[in-house]
Amino acid sequence: MELGVQGLNAKAVLGPDHTVRLARLAEELGYTSWWVGEHVVLPSPRTPESPMASTDPILDPLAHLAFVAAVTTRIQLGTGIVVLPQRNPVVLAKQVASLDVLSGGRFMLGVGAGYLEPELAAVGVDLATRGSRTDEYLDAMASLWHDAAPAFHGRHVSFENVDAHPRPKNVRIVVGGHSRAAFRRAVSRGHGWFGNGGPDDLAKHLGGLAQAANEVDRPPHLGRLEINYLQLNPVRLDAAAVARYAELGVDRLVVYPLPLEEPDDVARFLEYHAELVPRPRRS
């Protein structure tokens, strides 16, 4: 089981000096993945379902990860997650390919359908279409990345007689979410799945993924579905929780050093979990 960290593109640790320090520390400590989420805008005033206050700063994940790519050499870089329906898929495909090239193939595109209606509405997306847009956008981007003559015609995106280079070398798709639709999307379109909660929550989510695997086909080229799990309850892990996650088959266990108010506290959090979770051997 590998160890990752989430959320360091927000609040008090988002500045360039703190980012360089913490990214290099994570890599030195043996963390193998660095994940960041996104909110283009947040409801103001804050609503019950919003994970952050409207005044909490959070950087664009792709811009942030390009910066982290430049100051690290080994750690994988993932979006956990990009709200895909509020992105233009043709533009995003170019951004992803660019980040894949500049990072040396270290990028993982984690996507989700989103759930904050004010955020989606602000970019002109109807909440009711978020699922169909997510599926179409994934398929459209795949055509731009892999097809000799890219083309796609759907309800929300349509193109032909275009091409885009450079092509990405190693983009891996990670699908986030806990709904039946998200589980089916992960099985049918994702190299991996990204969830969050505690060990008991994960056991239920794995049941949902198993059910989805009986309902939809998984293309052979995707290989085995990788399990990426963000520990949220409680924030700080103990040895028993680590053992439980390993027993459940987690590939990447991701920790989140909330509340992100003091960089030194974040550094100590990273050091504590690096000792708690066995690190993979370096080649």
What are the tokens at 48?
A: 């019950």
Residue 169 lies in a domain: yes
Going residue by residue through the chain (283 aa), what tens digit of pLDDT does each one get? Answer: 999 999 999 999 999 999 999 999 999 999 999 999 999 999 999 999 999 999 999 999 999 999 999 999 999 999 999 999 999 999 999 999 999 999 999 999 999 999 999 999 999 999 999 999 999 999 999 999 999 999 999 999 999 999 999 999 889 999 999 999 999 999 999 999 999 999 999 999 999 999 999 999 999 999 999 999 999 988 999 999 999 999 999 999 999 999 999 999 999 999 999 999 876 655 4
Q: Is-contact 231 255, C-beta < 8 A?
A: yes
Task: Give residue 69's domain range.
Answer: 2-177+192-205+219-276
Residue 162 lies in a domain: yes
Domain of 229: which CATH number?
A: 3.20.20.30
Q: What is the dihedral of CA 259, 84, 115, 231, to 10 degrees?
A: -40
Which three-class secondary structure string do you get for 119-178?
Answer: HHHHCCCCHHHHHHHHHHHHHHHHHHHHCCCCCEECCCCEECCCCCCCCCCCCEEEEECC
Residue 211 lies in a domain: no
Q: How many domains does the chain have?
A: 1
Residue 12 lies in a domain: yes
Residue 148 lies in a domain: yes
Residue 258 lies in a domain: yes
Residue 184 lies in a domain: no
Residue 65 lies in a domain: yes
